[in-house]
Structure 1
Amino acid sequence: MSVTSVINKDDVKQKDDNIDFQESDIRVLVESASRVIAPLWPISTFAARSPWMGLEKLSFEQVARWLKNTRDVDIYPSASMIQSAKRKGEIDEAFVEMALQRWLDSHSFHISRQVAERYCRAALTLDKLPSELLSSSELEKLDADLKEWNTESSEKAFLQPLSMNVKQQSGEKLADILDYYMIKWCKLYLDESQATWTMPNREDGFYPAWRQLIPYDPAISKSLRKSLKDWPKDANTALEVALSALEIPKQEIQHYLEGHLLSLPGWAGMLMWRSQQSSQEHALLIEYLAIRISMEWALLQPYVPLSNQQSKKKVSNVSLIASWIHWGQLSIDEWSQMSLKDQDEYLTFAYQFDDMVRRKIWLEAWEQTYKDQLSEKILSTHANHKKTALAQLAFCIDVRSERFRRHLEKEGPFETIGIAGFFGLPIATSELGSKHSHPSLPVISKPEHAIKELQDANELNRYQQRKNAVNSLGHTFKTMKHHLLANLILPEVSGPLLSLQMVTRSFVPRTADRFIRNLRENWVRKPETKLSINHVHEKEAGLPVGFTEEEKVKYARHALKLMGLTNNLSPLVVFCGHGSQSINNPYASSLDCGACGGASSGFNARVLAELCNLPEVRAALLEEGMEIPEDTVFVAAEHNTAVEELHWIYVPELTTSAQVAFDRLEAILTKVSDNANAERLTQLPNFHSKHKNPTDEAHRFAQDWSEIRPEWGLARNAALIIGKRELTQNAELEGRAFLHNYDWKEDENGDLLAGIIAGAGTVAQWINLQYYASTVAPHYYGSGNKTTQTITAGLGVMQGNASDLLAGLPWQSVMQSDNEYFHSPLRLLIVIQAPTEYIKRLLNNNTAFQEKVQNGWVRLASVDPKGLWENW
């Protein structure tokens, strides 16, 4: 079955050509077409997302072929990337052979197995066919003699936007001109902070504002303005009229809309995200497509009539014959002497075993090699006995925590735990004096409570005055920059100060940053605060402030069960949120958290610690059989991944035994930071110092505003391991695995596992595929070189001033150099420590997860109670 026929299976009723569409038809078609893009969050609240999240009902291979066929986007690792992995020892070629045999067994062909294997093994070297062979006159003659061979692909071609096939006399495609116009209008409408003058009539909506302004746009010709002057007032009608005028067959409308959405997936993704945030903007994608296709119609008028006929992709007979001569070790004479029937069989086989199949085999072998290596690490180092821990520290599952946890456990009787970094608290946080709240949980969920920092009125007023004094300087500077007259004298006024800042930040970044930070902190002097944990009858941004008594117990119980802290608690339990720090970095929020929209999770850690310390919460848990010892104290900290340091956020009065544990922990943290930084920094390509203090060097990287890689983020992530810490405690996982604690014995009905897969499993998969896509297709899914990016509209980055809004990670986040990758593009391997019946129940009850596994979006393995590894 072709990819096209699968994608056509939407719940869309196609009508006869002589029947007009209703508004609901357009809405359903746009909604179905929008599956080919993914929502894009503003970069200030960066959240990793899979660019293919709407296509998971299809197999990974189907989506790969569809993208190659429609947009010439390749999502399998390139030949050079695969060859590099082979040189590094990341691919065991025995798995390549096994994958080849599986492929041959699953296909029928009428040539000898020996010949087929010889051809395939030679083709799997991934070397290119010689150019002199491809251009030889002998091959052209052989091609001309092939009259029986079907020279068209079996794949049905999509009806591409008509503007892609039309060029101006200058040679520029109309599609590129259309993109240029649409980028301008999207920037105008979506701008949040950068433009001095906002888009007129913006409050009316995207399409109405565009319709009112387009007759006066000096950037387009007078004839084009005139043709759109009396265009329909309603976006739905305008889209319908434009599609009809372009004579798009009704059965192809969804594909046509998909083609337009894929032309600028970044801007379309941002509009999609906006449409999901507000009921007033729910139709933004319809408005976008109405504008885009209306302008396409106007641009195409000088070139009508146009042909809407689809053409099937031609297959190169020359390359197929050349492949048999080069890889199949046939001579031209041997080929010529073959019957037409045999030639047909050989060409069909070569066509089936194409470049994409070959690289698919290599990718699966690469993934199988990693899976094999991981299983060996886990099963050979599995800790059988649990030590009595002096302190228990819960970290975010983020792969960057694994390294710090490992070094911490080596320094004493400390137990570390993995849990999603928001600690199961669906909250929006509001810092002291702020009028705005920020969701502090993964973007796949919505906050249910608001938690505010509190202080008495007098202290708050004094703090607010100091804070306003500092902020007013920045506000005044920005206002002057945008003022027509004031910006003329701004260089003379600000030049000396900014020059001094530039020199100090460039040559003594650590000293300059420390001075500026201390100056600000000493001036602002944020007082100690309390949290609005107790429920009050007021709302913040529509959310109830605080928790009821029942909610306090519910969230504490759930978090402790997820962490396995239902018994044997240590005197000191530390909830460690995580964040990062860097200077002059548009992607700073992506380093704080890849899932929570840039929110650091120290606030969540403090909230949970305070909940677990409440006597009434402990008493309620005790009634349920969950005893927290009287000498156990919960504290909160934050793990700064840029410098591998743990900073205390909330430390209440400690019991004697908790104080002993705290002091012991404090004594070894410097060594843990040094060891973790020493291991991490060696992976950075521009780190060469072997004699300097590693933590000092980490601070330099974080505070140098010219540093393009303050840290690697979540690069090289490859696995999510769900199980007890004993499973991985002695294994050096190289900072590549998300680690989530789970004890199947405490999860009789499977609810905990189902929740982990739905939450942490989805988040880890999105992060994994974001890195994967940015590595294998950086020109389409990445964001290019960080040093040449332009921040636009306060929303995201472009390359230059008229590119798509770039949705993925920059080159510096995934590549070691221009020619060498750092992130290994492997699909996420989920390993669950649980009996086989638990895995079967999970797959049976969660059809979405089952589809992800079956369709190749994630890979699944399990470790049963006897320590046996099983692949699913």
Structure 2
Amino acid sequence: MPHTSTFPSSTAPLVSHPPAPDLAAEIEHLAHLLPSQGPITVFVHHNTLHAFEEQPFHEAVVAAADLFDCHPYLPEAEYRAQLDRGRIRPADLDRELLAVLGDQGDELLGALGTRHALWLAMLERPLWEGPDAEIRWYIDETESLFRYRPEVETATRERVVSQTRRWVVRDYANGARERCPLKQEVDALIERFGGAIFESWNAGDWEPFTLHLLWRACRAGVDLAAESRPPRAARSGDRDREAAALVDSEMIRFCAAYLDQGLAPWRLPDCEQGLLRAFVNLHRGSKPQTAWLHGLPALVQEVDALGCDAQASIAASLAELRVTPDDRERVLTEALLELPGWAGMVWQMETNAEWTVRPAPRGTLVDYVAVRLLLQRLAKQRLDADPLSGRTPDPQGGESRLQQAFSVFQIAQVRGWTPVDLMSLSAYEWRNLIEEVDAFSSRERRRVYHQAYERQLRERTLDAIRAHAAGLKHAPALAAPEFQLVCCIDDREESFRRHLEEVFPACETFGFAGFFGVAMYYRGVSEATYRPLCPVNVKPQHFVRETPAYSAEGTSRRQEKARQTLGRAAHGMNQGSQSFLGGAIAGLLGAAATLPMVLRILSPRLAGRFASFFGRIVVPNRTQLTLERTAQSPGSAPDELGYSIDEMTSIVHGTLTAMGLTRGFARLVIITGHGSSSVNNPHSAAYDCGACGGGRGGPNARAFARMANDPRVRERLAGRGMQIDQATCFIGGYHNTGDDSYTLYDLDLLPTTHRGVLNRASKAIDEARARDAHERCRRFESAPLSLSPAAALRHVEGRASDLSQVRIECGHATNAYTFVGRRAWSRGLFLDRRAFLASYDPEADDKARSVLAKLLSAVIPVCAGIALEYYFSRVDNRGYGCGTKLPHNVTSMLGVMDGAGSDLRTGLPWQMVEIHEPVRNLFVIETTPEAMQRIMADNAAIDTLVQNDWVQLALFDAESLEMKLFQNGRFEPYQAPLSQLPRVAESIEWYRGQRDHLGFATIDPAAESTSTGATR
């Protein structure tokens, strides 16, 4: 969607000005408006409107909508569809409207009722809108003037028609005609519908007569109101968009070549000298074939004469474009936001991608602006020389009179206003009515709809938590667990944990950010470079490498040579196919090359197994981590890899304390990282672990388990008051949320005394992942609802290996809330894979709640960022998201474009968000208002998100069942009677046969099912 500037055009004298010394700082300041999405291989969810977080949420989304030409909320039609199906309750609309209007809601609008009644009618019934031509067609070609809208109640319609008939027969025919402001229109309608012999009219004639007269009253009233209004300012046409289109095509190609990370056959020359110098060197002495670029060599010489000083070049271009100092910020902002995806990637590669193969040097974004303005000068010269170019001016801004009349016409029907009511209004009253209708614009209506949409889900969630926790008060305490399993807080792990607890009640599960405190640069045994495995706001200091086990080093060397040989052959074939001879050979071998592709489509599960088998041939089966450092300082040299024992101790202590696992250790503790695998999916990193920077968390889980098993670490932990029994053994695991496979690491290090509990845990995990796959499959239209768990597992295995599959998994597409507290009060509650679950034990924290403060410093920004990116990609998938996957092409190994050339698309594709309910995340935290207020006061990032309503926040006391909801800048008691939740023996009883979002239920193996299926 093109960027539309919201800055006013300057009418000041056009003057040149000297170079501004702060241009670089000004551009870098404006960079905060750019998307902060890094390379797609490390896709990490974030708040799309991070630059607006200092503003309250509803103000921010409107400001951003104006700046980026995007929608702040869903379309009205979608909200009304939710109203019709009960997802939005009429009572919620009424309450939200009362909150918006306050005492002003009771003000009367003449004889037409209160402001509250008017606005509520505009919410409860659809208001169709469109351009003038569409409205004229609708009026002329449909029955809109012959039949009342179907939403109008029969009693209302009959009353209005009856009153109109009585007025015409009794009053108009007996003296009211002279006082009627529309007597000519009324006379014409009477003549049209059969003349003044009203007794001869059919009863059916009076409804069309009423509607025709109502429409004429609306048109006349709007005209009357407009007579005393000042005329709207005309919007002058300009050529900026046409010039930008010319510049965009060149910038896209050049940026793709400059930022390329190895996808192109050859590298753009002189990249190491900076973007501007590379551009100058590329075009020095060139002869462009495109007509509008004929003057480029001369401009390149000008920049060369300035020593390729980007700021000097920008200043010269601003002067040439006759930009005044007052307009400079507008022009620079437009230069960045015309292609926000590419400009944002330039900024990310300059500031936050030092680990990539080819990061951008400092100053690249300033160079980008300098190049863009050079091209803009040429485009402007081209358009100035062409009198036929440019856009036709729009002579009228804002909503037209016809559109206003059509809005009043619809409202009048649902409110039951008669034509006489409207004809009786004065010009002043008409102006008030029009202003009132305009004030409650589509955008304002959608805001109220959205708040009611969130209210319903919020209250259902809080009610369910209290009801479920109340039912657990008298339940027997969980016995000593046979094994414990720690997962990431990821909402996709909610169902896996729930099913595991159903299958094996003697287990205990926990949730913690999936890097488990192990922030590192990691290089796998078959990988060529290190990559960060930690949250994006953390800069790792430690390097960890996976190496072959000592006993497998000989085999590993042969496997490494085989990988290198295969890699060179594949690279050579790819490069050679682009030559004449290589292309001919590739054509001859093309039929053979299609076989794997066909297998990926016709039998993807079998193809995936073949790929896994051949992968094991060239990758060592037995590996180890270089985890303990021998040098003093961390680094990437062989003796600098890993951590010191004290550092390991701090990691283990901090992570176990944060999740509340400080005592009562089981004999087996499984630490589970997660990620996802799929083919032909550029956004695959978006399905991986956000806490691992868009990577897979298996190495982190494996490293943590190794640290926790170290006797020296345990000795130091005991000195800090944390006793881990010698019989407790930690192992690392990896859950693939794409195909629901599960891998355990370093099993050869597990004592033989633990094999029994490991076998029982493995059997339970296998059953849980099959059930998890079954629950996931209810969301996939290609998966029959009659699948068994085993068949569902086979389906997701094939889905992850299917070359044609664009919906690998739902990802976070159902996320809605985050629970922070003990598992005890949410265990057994069906949460429909919609909850992030972070474990926290208030009893293990200190009085200052320092553990909770540290935990929330990561949980709130991360979960809020995920929810907000899904929110914005759903409400405007074309503007904030990246549209459908189908035309996407991978570009420069950094992102995707639509087709052969477009802006670099940021955000999430439609296939990831189409089933998502866009709501701000609701955090339910087990703590007190006093503790939370201290945390907010000490953490600016949390305070900003909470105070400005980017998240919803509720506090829960599991003992008293009291809830406190943060509203209007303070914690207010949430009061609602305790409700009863449906009870089912297993999750499958609740979700079987359902594809849509489901409500809450208590999973109680001892209970008889009380679900009806109708209230889900």
Give the one of 240, 250, 256 matched to 1:181: 250
Instruction: Provide closer, same or farther for how the CA distance between residues 542 and 770 of structure 1 changes in structure 2, counting only shifts above 3 A.
Output: farther
Query: C-alpha distance in 2, partners of 1:310/1:246?
Result: 24
1:249 Cα deviation (Å)?
A: 3.7
Give the one of 42, 64, 82 matched to 1:45: 42
1:35 Cα deviation (Å)?
A: 2.1
Instruction: Provide closer, same or farther for how the CA distance between residues 242 and 148 of structure 1 changes in structure 2, counting only shifts above 3 A.
Output: farther
Instruction: Provide closer, same or farther for how the CA distance between residues 492 and 575 of structure 1 changes in structure 2, counting only shifts above 3 A.
Output: same
1:79 corresponds to 2:76: yes
Give the one of 437, 462, 467 matched to 1:350: 437
Instruction: Provide closer, same or farther for how the CA distance between residues 248 and 317 of structure 1 changes in structure 2, counting only shifts above 3 A.
Output: farther
**Residue in structure 1 matched with residue 403 of structure 2 by the alignment:** 319
Instruction: Provide closer, same or farther for how the CA distance between residues 732 and 869 of structure 1 changes in structure 2, counting only shifts above 3 A.
Output: same
Give the one of 590, 600, 604 matched to 1:509: 604
Aligned length: 843
Query: C-alpha distance in 2, partners of 1:29/1:255?
Result: 11
Residue type of the alignment partner of 2:877? P
Could you report, residue by residue, the CA deviation over 1:660-689 in whole angstroms, capped at 9, with x for unpaired residues? 432221222222122111111011122126
1:292-441 alignment runs, 5 A limit? 292-304=372-384, 314-328=398-412, 329=415, 330=417, 334-335=421-422, 337-382=424-469, 383-384=472-473, 385-412=477-504, 413-432=506-525, 434-441=527-534
Query: C-alpha distance in 2, partners of 1:75/1:304?
Result: 36
- The SS at the match of 1:578 is strand
Give the one of 459, 466, 480 matched to 2:573: 480
Query: C-alpha distance in 1, partners of 2:671/2:912?
Result: 28
**Residue in structure 1 matched with residue 325 of structure 2 by the alignment:** 250
**Residue in structure 2 matched with residue 12 of structure 1 by the alignment:** none
Instruction: Provide closer, same or farther for how the CA distance between residues 657 and 117 of structure 1 changes in structure 2, counting only shifts above 3 A.
Output: farther
1:409 Cα deviation (Å)?
A: 0.5
**Residue in structure 1 matched with residue 623 of structure 2 by the alignment:** 528
Query: C-alpha distance in 1, partners of 2:822/2:291?
Result: 63
Question: Are 1:637 and 1:649, in contact at CA under 8 Å, matched by a contact in 2?
Answer: yes
Instruction: Provide closer, same or farther for how the CA distance between residues 336 and 197 of structure 1 changes in structure 2, counting only shifts above 3 A.
Output: farther
**Residue in structure 2 matched with residue 206 of structure 1 by the alignment:** 275
Could you report, residue by residue, the CA deviation over 1:771-806 in whole angstroms, capped at 9, with x for unpaired residues? 112111111122222222111112111111111111
1:252 Cα deviation (Å)?
A: 3.7
Query: C-alpha distance in 2, partners of 1:316/1:387?
Result: 71
1:281 corresponds to 2:322: no
1:38 Cα deviation (Å)?
A: 2.2
**Residue in structure 1 matched with residue 804 of structure 2 by the alignment:** 706
1:841 corresponds to 2:940: no
Residue type of the alignment partner of 2:485? L
Instruction: Provide closer, same or farther for how the CA distance between residues 266 and 453 of structure 1 changes in structure 2, counting only shifts above 3 A.
Output: same
1:736 Cα deviation (Å)?
A: 0.6
Could you report, residue by residue, the CA deviation over 1:377-404 in whole angstroms, capped at 9, with x for unpaired residues? 2111124434421111100011100000
Query: C-alpha distance in 1, partners of 2:761/2:527?
Result: 34
Query: C-alpha distance in 2, partners of 1:846/1:375?
Result: 26
Give the one of 831, 834, 846 matched to 2:924: 831
1:186-201 alignment runs, 5 A limit? 186-201=255-270
**Residue in structure 2 matched with residue 644 of structure 1 by the alignment:** 740
1:302 Cα deviation (Å)?
A: 4.3
Residue type of the alignment partner of 2:490? D
Give the one of 663, 680, 685 matched to 1:584: 680
Question: Are 1:325 and 1:332, in contact at CA under 8 Å, matched by a contact in 2?
Answer: no
Give the one of 65, 89, 99 matched to 2:86: 89
Instruction: Provide closer, same or farther for how the CA distance between residues 264 and 239 of structure 1 changes in structure 2, counting only shifts above 3 A.
Output: same
Query: C-alpha distance in 1, partners of 2:384/2:538?
Result: 49
Query: C-alpha distance in 1, partners of 2:282/2:216?
Result: 58
Instruction: Provide closer, same or farther for how the CA distance between residues 792 and 387 of structure 1 changes in structure 2, counting only shifts above 3 A.
Output: same
Could you report, residue by residue, the CA deviation over 1:510-532 in whole angstroms, capped at 9, with x for unpaired residues? 22221232133135443332433
Query: C-alpha distance in 2, partners of 1:835/1:719?
Result: 19
Question: Are 1:79 and 1:126, in contact at CA under 8 Å, matched by a contact in 2?
Answer: no
1:726 Cα deviation (Å)?
A: 1.1
Question: Are 1:47 and 1:594, in contact at CA under 8 Å, matched by a contact in 2?
Answer: yes
1:516-595 alignment runs, 5 A limit? 516-537=611-632, 540-541=635-636, 544-595=640-691
1:563 Cα deviation (Å)?
A: 1.6
Question: Are 2:741 and 2:769, in contact at CA under 8 Å, matched by a contact in 1?
Answer: yes
List gaps (5 residues or longer) in structure 1.
9-15, 816-821
Question: Are 2:127 and 2:407, in contact at CA under 8 Å, matched by a contact in 1?
Answer: no
**Residue in structure 2 matched with residue 722 of structure 1 by the alignment:** 820
1:293 Cα deviation (Å)?
A: 2.3
Instruction: Provide closer, same or farther for how the CA distance between residues 247 and 143 of structure 1 changes in structure 2, counting only shifts above 3 A.
Output: farther
Give the one of 907, 911, 915 matched to 1:808: 907
Instruction: Provide closer, same or farther for how the CA distance between residues 376 and 83 of structure 1 changes in structure 2, counting only shifts above 3 A.
Output: same
Could you report, residue by residue, the CA deviation over 1:9-59 in whole angstroms, capped at 9, with x for unpaired residues? xxxxxxx98874532x21232123222222221112211222211210122
**Residue in structure 2 matched with residue 772 of structure 1 by the alignment:** 871
Question: Are 2:222 and 2:404, in contact at CA under 8 Å, matched by a contact in 1?
Answer: no
Residue type of the alignment partner of 1:93? P
Residue type of the alignment partner of 1:736? R
Instruction: Provide closer, same or farther for how the CA distance between residues 661 and 313 of structure 1 changes in structure 2, counting only shifts above 3 A.
Output: farther
1:867 corresponds to 2:961: yes
Query: C-alpha distance in 1, partners of 2:343/2:395?
Result: 27
1:598 corresponds to 2:598: no
1:652-691 alignment runs, 5 A limit? 653-654=749-750, 658-688=754-784, 690-691=786-787
List gaps (5 residues or longer) in structure 2.
9-13, 130-134, 141-214, 967-1016
1:227 Cα deviation (Å)?
A: 5.3
Instruction: Provide closer, same or farther for how the CA distance between residues 380 and 387 of structure 1 changes in structure 2, counting only shifts above 3 A.
Output: farther
1:470 corresponds to 2:563: yes
Query: C-alpha distance in 2, partners of 1:86/1:532?
Result: 56
- The SS at the match of 2:540 is coil
Question: Are 2:17 and 2:324, in contact at CA under 8 Å, matched by a contact in 1?
Answer: no
**Residue in structure 1 matched with residue 1012 of structure 2 by the alignment:** none
Give the one of 934, 940, 943 matched to 1:850: 943
1:534 Cα deviation (Å)?
A: 3.2
Residue type of the alignment partner of 2:342? W
1:657 Cα deviation (Å)?
A: 6.8
Question: Are 1:573 and 1:633, in contact at CA under 8 Å, matched by a contact in 2?
Answer: yes
Residue type of the alignment partner of 1:111? L
1:166 corresponds to 2:239: yes
**Of 498-507 and 826-835, the range deviating more from structure 2:** 498-507
Query: C-alpha distance in 1, partners of 2:295/2:335?
Result: 20
Could you report, residue by residue, the CA deviation over 1:409-431 in whole angstroms, capped at 9, with x for unpaired residues? 11221111000000011111122
Instruction: Provide closer, same or farther for how the CA distance between residues 528 and 474 of structure 1 changes in structure 2, counting only shifts above 3 A.
Output: closer
- The SS at the match of 1:786 is coil
1:91-110 alignment runs, 5 A limit? 91-105=88-102
Query: C-alpha distance in 1, partners of 2:932/2:139?
Result: 51
- The SS at the match of 2:332 is helix
Query: C-alpha distance in 1, partners of 2:231/2:557?
Result: 73
**Of 452-461 and 390-399, the range deviating more from structure 2:** 452-461
Instruction: Provide closer, same or farther for how the CA distance between residues 85 and 468 of structure 1 changes in structure 2, counting only shifts above 3 A.
Output: farther
**Residue in structure 1 matched with residue 120 of structure 2 by the alignment:** 121
Question: Are 1:480 and 1:490, in contact at CA under 8 Å, matched by a contact in 2?
Answer: no
Structure 1 vs Structure 2: percent identity of aligned residues? 26
Residue type of the alignment partner of 1:201? D
Question: Are 2:541 and 2:635, in contact at CA under 8 Å, matched by a contact in 1?
Answer: no
**Of 463-472 and 180-189, the range deviating more from structure 2:** 463-472
Question: Are 1:533 and 1:607, in contact at CA under 8 Å, matched by a contact in 2?
Answer: no
Residue type of the alignment partner of 1:298? L
1:533 Cα deviation (Å)?
A: 2.5
Could you report, residue by residue, the CA deviation over 1:242-266 in whole angstroms, capped at 9, with x for unpaired residues? 2233333433432333333222221
Residue type of the alignment partner of 1:291? V
- The SS at the match of 1:221 is helix
Residue type of the alignment partner of 1:806? R
**Of 654-663 and 729-738, the range deviating more from structure 2:** 654-663
Question: Are 2:548 and 2:556, in contact at CA under 8 Å, matched by a contact in 1?
Answer: no
**Residue in structure 2 matched with residue 260 of structure 1 by the alignment:** 335
Residue type of the alignment partner of 2:697? S
